[in-house]
Amino acid sequence: MLTFLTRRLTGALLVLVLVSVLAFGIIWLVPGDPTAILLDASATPEQAERLRAQLGLDKPLPLQMVDWYGRLLQGDLGQSILLNRSVTAALIERLPVTLSLAGIALVIAMVLGVLAGIVAAMNHNRWPDQLVMATALFGLSVPEFWLGLMLVFVFALQLGALPTGGFVPFHESLGGWARTIALPAITLAVVHIGFIARMTRASMLDVLGQDFIRTADAKGLSRWRIVIRHGLPNALIPILTVLGIVAGGLLGGTVIVEQVFSIPGVGRLVIGAILSRDYPVIQGGLLFLAVIYLGVNLLVDILYAAVDPRVRLE
């Protein structure tokens, strides 16, 4: 186990270095300058140059990269240009919002996706199977921003059942939190429900054709007991692999969904930073999300051994 963790953590560190280099380099390829946001139209070129010097933007790019990594090695993601506060503090403040949104969407996607995949596998080539696969194809095809707007139109504007956007923290009101998180979580989950359902169906069909399943069926066990007790545990490895992929997709999807529903999470913070050229927030936000994604995938690898004793992490 120790050897496995050391190897995976070393690989994760290399990935983070690559992400940090890309995050630093890509933003400088985008035209624009934060001084144009901070200064009004009447500002003189001399004032713009002084502000660039104060922000450290007048240094050559290699020196700025050295400063960036020097702060990063000390655990400092820098100071936001527009928020006038620590990037780390801004990200930690908004992280619970993003994690709650992604977490609820993950639970919805996994539960409904696995159930739909099991139903499809148990009714192979019959109408329930065809219905599940058609619905899964729709979910995989629909854009998240369009689905979010349609849900707002139906449930918020037409029915008035849910708010159009905003966010109520869990500790302030459980009911308010549930109402504001419902539509964004469903929007995030729909795309991934179809993906999980297709993977579960394929994995279950492979397992249900094994000899031990036919033996259990010959003993007179009920179909659902065979599937849940004997089939599903043996089909979990591919499903767990999907879990890591879905977690990454959900983190990426929060950037769009938080913007559509005006949710103050990390994704919306990064979008605002991109529009205002707040370079430290963009770099820190991308690195922050990469750390979470790598952590989820490491957890999935560890779960392999817990679910299937045949898997040895060493």
1 part of a folded domain: no
For residue 171, what are its two tokens? 């500790």
83 part of a folded domain: no
52-84 residue pLDDT tens: 777 667 677 777 777 777 777 777 777 787 777
154-209 residue pLDDT tens: 888 888 888 888 888 887 888 888 888 889 999 989 888 888 888 888 888 888 77
**What's the pLDDT band for 93 if we cut at 50, 70, 90?**
confident
Q: 32 pLDDT exceeds 70?
A: no
239 part of a folded domain: yes
- Residue-number span of the structural domain to which 63 is assigned: 22-76
Which CATH number is 210's domain given? 1.10.3720.10
Element (H, E) at 90: helix 87-122
**pTM (predicted TM-score):** 0.81
pLDDT at 108: 92
Q: How many domains does the chain have?
A: 2
Residues 107 and 60 in one domain: no
290 part of a folded domain: yes
Residue 280: burial class (beta carbons within 10 Å; 0-12, 13-18, 19+):
buried
**What's the pLDDT band for 216 if we cut at 50, 70, 90?**
confident
Q: 264 pLDDT exceeds 80?
A: yes
- Rounded CA separation 187/216 (Å): 39
**Mean pLDDT for the chain overall:** 80
- Rounded CA separation 186/19 (Å): 29
